[in-house]
């Protein structure tokens, strides 16, 4: 099959799945930023998404795209290592115009994957997964079910702990490096690779990556500074304000 056997086909799949993940990250970062502005609005968004069919379809598609992206990344990296043979052990000077991120995409991807596992454990497993299990009759903890749609509660709980805020900042720095190279590389593989457009594509990629990371990083920074309606010592947020 051309998409699997061809180098161009494999890069095309990496580009498409990568673009899909970037769009998700942009949406997710904007959604998360709402939490530090209006926690109750964030809870409303979480309740709207939750374990509804449209959210499950989107989650399934995203998970499939992510798995494909990771598998192809490892496959392409292994292929490149085999092609270089013993030359990969030689000490060489850095190629002109080759960024640090482009030379370490696999390492950055591994760091991101590790932190993603933590993120899924802290949030997805306590929110959408709990709702799914409850609907299937496999989860009877009523308190956990009630908190499943209260995303602001979990954001407040975890990012009020400095260790998690610092860990997420480290993760987001790695994600920024991965995105700055990944976005323009994807667009280049999709055809925007001439001399006129390549510098523009790189600039656009840096802007998109920076916007995403700044939106995400606002939460752990607010957690460390104890700022905003979620993290200030005088915070009045409560997941169940009517109780």
pLDDT given for residue 192 in this prediction:
57
Residue 19: count other Cβ atoms within 10 Å of its Cβ. Answer: 17
Note whether 144 and 126 are within 8 A (CB): yes
pLDDT given for residue 217 in this prediction:
96
pLDDT given for residue 101 in this prediction:
60
pLDDT tens digits along 50-73: 888 898 898 899 889 888 887 777
- R_g over Cα of the chain: 20
Residue with the bigger pLDDT between 127 and 4: it is 127
Q: Which of 4-13, 49-58, 211-220 has the highest mean pLDDT?
A: 211-220
Q: What is the mean pLDDT of residues 158-183?
A: 90
- For residues 45 and 32, what is the distance between their CA atoms, to the nearest angstrom? 10
pLDDT band, very low/low/confident/very high, at 40 (cuts 50, 70, 90): very high
Q: What is the mean pLDDT of residues 169-175?
A: 91
Q: What is the mean pLDDT of residues 123-135?
A: 92
Residue with the bigger pLDDT between 44 and 87: it is 44
**Domains in the chain: ranges and CATH:** 2-85+98-231 (1.20.1300)
Quick check: 34 pLDDT over 80? yes
Q: What is the mean pLDDT of residues 26-33?
A: 94
**Angle of helix 53-84 relative to helix 128-135, nearest 10 degrees?**
120
Percent of the chain with pLDDT over 70: 77
Q: What is the SS3 string spanning the chain?
A: CHHHHCHHHHHHHHHHHHHHHHHHHHHHHHHHHHHHHCHHHHHHHHHHHCCCHHHHHHHHHHHHHHHHHHHHHHHHHHHHHHHHHHHHHCCCCCCCCCCHHHHCHHHHHHHHHHHHHHHHHHCHHHCHHHHHHHHCCCCCCHHHHHHCCCHHHHHHHHHCCHHHHHHHHHHHHHHHHHHHHHHHHHHHHCCCCCCCCHHHHHHHHHHHHHHHHHHHHHHHHHHHHCCHHHHCCCCCCCCCCCC
């Amino acid at each position: 099959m051309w998409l699997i056997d061809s180098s161009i086909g494999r890069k095309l799949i990496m580009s498409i799945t990568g673009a899909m993940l970037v769009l998700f990250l942009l949406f997710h970062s904007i959604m998360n930023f709402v939490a530090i502005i209006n926690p109750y609005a964030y809870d409303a968004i979480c309740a709207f998404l939750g374990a509804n069919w449209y959210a499950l379809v989107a989650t399934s598609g995203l998970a499939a795209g992510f798995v494909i992206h990771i598998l192809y990344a490892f496959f392409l990296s292994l292929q490149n290592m085999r092609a270089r043979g013993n030359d990969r052990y030689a000490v060489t000077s850095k190629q002109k115009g080759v960024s640090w991120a482009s030379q370490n995409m696999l390492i950055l991807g591994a760091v991101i994957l590790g932190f993603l596992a933590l993120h899924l454990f802290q949030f997805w497993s306590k929110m959408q997964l709990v709702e799914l299990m409850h609907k299937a009759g496999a989860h009877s903890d009523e308190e956990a079910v009630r908190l499943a749609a209260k995303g602001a509660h979990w954001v407040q709980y975890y990012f009020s702990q400095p260790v998690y805020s610092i860990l997420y900042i480290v993760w987001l720095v790695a994600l920024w490096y991965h995105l700055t190279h990944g976005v323009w590389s994807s667009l280049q593989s999709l055809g925007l690779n001439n001399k006129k457009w390549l510098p523009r594509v790189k600039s656009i990629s840096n802007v998109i990556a920076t916007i995403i990371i700044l939106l995400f990083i606002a939460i752990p920074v607010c957690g460390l500074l104890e700022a905003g309606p979620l993290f200030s010592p005088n915070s009045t947020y409560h997941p169940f304000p009517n109780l």
